[in-house]
Chains A and B, each alone.
Chain A
Amino acid sequence: MPSLAELWRRLLFFLGRNRLDRELQEEMRQHLEFKAQENLDFGMSQEEAGNEAARQFGNALLLKEKSRKARGFAALETITQDLRYGLRMLRKAPGFTAVAIITLALGIGVNTAIFSVVNTILLRPLPYRDSARIVHLWTTLPEFPNMQLTESASDFPVIRDGMQSFESMAAYREAKMNLTGRGEPEQLSAAVVSAEFLPLLGIQTIRGRTLDSQDGHGGNGKVVLLSYALWQRRFGGDTGIVGKGIILNQQPYTVVGILPRGFSFPNQTDILTPLSSVPEEQGQGENDVFVLAKLRPGVPLQKAQSELDTIAARLSKNHPDDDSGRKLEAVPLQTEITGHSRSMLLVLVGAVGLLLLMACVNVSNLILSRGLQRQREIATRAALGASRSRIVRQLLAESLLLSFLGGVLGLLLAIWGVDIFRVLAPAGIARIDELRIEPSLVWAALAISSLAGILSGLAPALHTARPDLNLALKERQSSAPATASRFPLRSFLIVSEVALALILLTGSGLMMQSLLRLLHVNSGIRTDHLLTMDLTLPQARYPGDNHLVLFAQRLMESLQQHPGIENVAITNSTLFRGSMHIAPVIIPGVTNERDIGNQAQEKSVTPDYFRCLGIHVVSGRTFSDRDVQGITRVAVINESLARRYWGSQSPLGKNVILGPNPEDSVQIIGVVADTRDTSLRVGPQPQVYVAFFQGSGAFSQKSSAGIHLLIRTASDPAALISDVRRQIWSQDKDLPITKVQTIAEAISESVSERRFQSLLLGAFAGLGLVLTLVGIYGVISYSVSQRMREIGIRLALGAQRGNVLQYVLREGAQLALLGVVTGLAGSLLAMRLLANQLFGIKATDPATLIFAALLMLAVALAASYIPARRATQVDPMIALRYE
């Protein structure tokens, strides 16, 4: 085992090898001179003296070689030699080289690009200090299975003071705030944070100061930090803004600092303000916050979790009403942020992995074909004494050379691919904005290229380096034995390639059908000509529900005057964005408060909501303008809810309590059809609609009310947008209008991630098909060219051209069939991993499998057809003279 110092010296010697060689030469020459001089002194003649000296010295050339070997990296020098030789061989076969390099570049390129994406999103630590130790705390309650709930602000100190495992904890809330006073009003995403928030994440401001514990406690007035993006976009990067005032939610705030570029935690944050400076929701004391915590160094998550269990148990004992069965759960921030993209990315990794294998298989086959042509060369080398391992090394050096050349091209492809990914990727993928072209891409390409080089080169090298010397060295024998069936390795490679391609094909087929089925699922809503937008009404201007109701009534009245508008409705819930309001459902005499699972999605809507969305009324009536505050509160339920609690009986006139207080009782006046309006994926949920004019329920963001405007238009909705804006601003010029889109666009956006994934998988499957096509074509053409003589003899002996065609096609078909059978089995195994991402289709869907298999066979036959056709056009006379 050489020491490090020795390796270092070897390296130095290697780098200075030219100088060392000169010195050695000089030294040896001197030695001979000394010796000759001595011989002269003994009385030899000049010539004798020189010869004698040389004789005693030995073979100077060999000795120099030995000296070089003694000090150098013998392996390194052989490798250089191998590479030089390899390069020469590749240059001699430019066609082969080009095809192999392009094939490898495709495989390496897509893998490098996807690796880079996975590295950015899943592997790389979040850009916060000690991010691996940051966790998010969630509450879970048995009434709300599978949901992560926020903590109440009053519990925050209890948890903080009870935990030994955390070095710090921070609370934050997300809010929408309206920026007014300069230009158009704009709705900003605010993070409302406790003083520990920025230190916990290790974030400092780049201008001005950060938040301190005095902020928000009256002393400094209301203060705010701006995100870098907002600072640039809205204030032109003007440093003078620090210390100046801006108007948020109709109240003055002082800008005290600018956040660093790229910081947008938790969610596209534009501004950061201290927790205590935002007025809390009036009336109810509950004030929910998200909680971040940082584990002490070296403390494992399990230890923190067991401490949390103890605290949760104490909390449920202290508040048996709200908190029974409460659990606290610590989730690593990284898992939480990137968790939902994980399965999608892993599927893509699987797909590109298959592609790389296929590219390697293709190149293996190419090398193998060439290996057969080169058998005489190899045999000559073996006969001259090259060891098998030496020949394998030489051949591997060639395939590595190919794969590195492919890697360079692949790297360019990957750079391009990463760009495409970033542009096409739906906004929902976390951390996608961190994705950029960076040096790690080069390392990834290098690693993947090495893998590809070995994968594609090893089998052919081992195979080729074992030539039968006698056979190979005889001229006529060199090209004789070459049907694919007599070369099981080649057949094996093609069969596995077909199988891999089939797996890709079924995977992408299933994903695409899922997407189509999802898009065609009946949402229960008429989706054409329906315009939607979000409005945020700050509490400072609209302090109570009656203000909100008044605003809504006036706005709807003015909009309904417009000839292009058929219907207008307002609701407190968004559509197709995956979020919903959940209310516990208590039905006197049927359920009791503590029953698990008694919950429904609650929406408050204006009377025209059902007509506007085209939701079918099953029985009873919907809301009217007379259902206002002060009279009996009424509700409309959907069929799912009706069926669940009343079965076949009519629920009309029955009472339901939505929430913990008996005052939240509402009377059911109607039943409407089920809808899928949260997400197409989620089946109909029990839903209860309450009257917006009896209580909007819109103050969900504490300091402002978010409402959702729905407009059914007679013609193109886009043409009405500016009119609608004008109407809204004539009611309140400081109101930001966001998310202006049609319902069709909202639906399309809700499936964007899935569409993106299907698109990529489809592209990969297409690439896989092309690779297979080329692969089979290569093998069959090669086999035909090797059998020219045989085919010629057959034709000369009277075989029909049709027979020859059949004969060649059969060979391709046999291989393809074997591959398809293997691929089907592989698909059945692999698709189980995909099962949880499918919608409306089983992973074992026979139609998809059969279609994919037939497509594969068709491609295989098409690939064999061209060489088969060429075989039939063989002129027997020429074929017999072939070679």
Chain B
Amino acid sequence: MPKASKNELLPGTLEMLILQTLTHRPLHGYAIARQIQQISDDVLQVEEGSLYPALQRLLVKGWVKAEWGTSTKNRRVRHYTLTSAGRKQLGIEAENFKRMIQAIARIMQTS
């Protein structure tokens, strides 16, 4: 019997999702994972650890920057902030993503 699986992420989309979650405010790693899961109603199951290699990539690219600060519970945590380059990149990726989704949607409708 066919069922809707809890899909793994399309490759490359994790980074876009991270950028997206950071658009409004800086977050620490755990909060990013939580947010992605919550907003997608648990559809997008991120292997939480894989967040960290992705964050390192974003740091190297200069799309986010990281700062140590204190959390609401007064613990030392690392906050990730979107940079202006990251904002621009998010725009580009979101645009590409939208185009791809529309294309896929059109194919699914016609067949």
A interface, CB within 8 angstroms of B? 5-6, 9-10, 13, 23-24, 27-28, 30-31, 34-35, 56-60, 63-64, 66-71
Contacts and interface: CB of A to CB of B under 8 A. Distances in A.
B111 to A, nearest CB: 36
Contacts of B77: 27, 30
A58 B53 CA distance: 12
B97 to A, nearest CB: 21
B95 interface: no
Contact of A60 (B33, B49, B55): B49
A66 B52 CA distance: 9
Interface residues on B, range: 20 to 34
Interface in B59-89: 59-62, 75, 77-78
Contacts of A59: 49
B48 A35 contact: yes
B5 interface: no
B30 A10 contact: no
Interface string B21-56: 000000011100100000000000001111011111
Contact of B62 (A9, A23, A63, A67): A9
28 contacts: A6-B61, A6-B62, A10-B60, A13-B60, A24-B52, A30-B29, A30-B30, A30-B75, A31-B30, A31-B33, A31-B49, A35-B30, A35-B48, A56-B47, A56-B48, A57-B48, A57-B49, A58-B47, A58-B48, A58-B50, A63-B49, A63-B52, A64-B52, A66-B53, A70-B53, A70-B56, A70-B60, A71-B59
Query: Interface residues of A: mostly helix, strand, loop or mixed?
Result: helix
B99 interface: no
A510 to B, nearest CB: 61
Nearest to A7: B60
B7 to A, nearest CB: 16
Contact of B30 (A34, A60, A63, A68): A34
B98 interface: no
Given A5-B62, A9-B62, A35-B30, A28 B49 contact: yes
Given A6-B62, A9-B62, A71-B57, 14 more contacts: A9-B59, A9-B60, A13-B59, A13-B60, A27-B77, A30-B28, A35-B30, A56-B47, A57-B49, A58-B48, A66-B50, A66-B53, A70-B60, A71-B56
B75 A31 contact: no
A23 B55 CA distance: 13
A70 B77 CA distance: 21
A39 to B, nearest CB: 12
Contacts of B30: 30-31, 34-35
Contacts of A6: 60-62
Nearest to B55: A67
Contacts of A31: 29-30, 33, 48-49
Contact of A27 (B29, B53, B57, B62): B29
* Max count, chain A CB within 10 A of own CB: residue among B49, B50, B56, B78: B49
A27 B67 CA distance: 12
Contacts of A9: 59-60, 62
Nearest to B68: A23
A5 B52 CA distance: 21
Contacts of B53: 63, 66-67, 69-70
A67 B52 contact: yes
Contacts of A60: 49
Contacts of A10: 60
A6 B63 CA distance: 10
Contacts of B60: 6, 9-10, 13, 70-71
Nearest to B57: A70
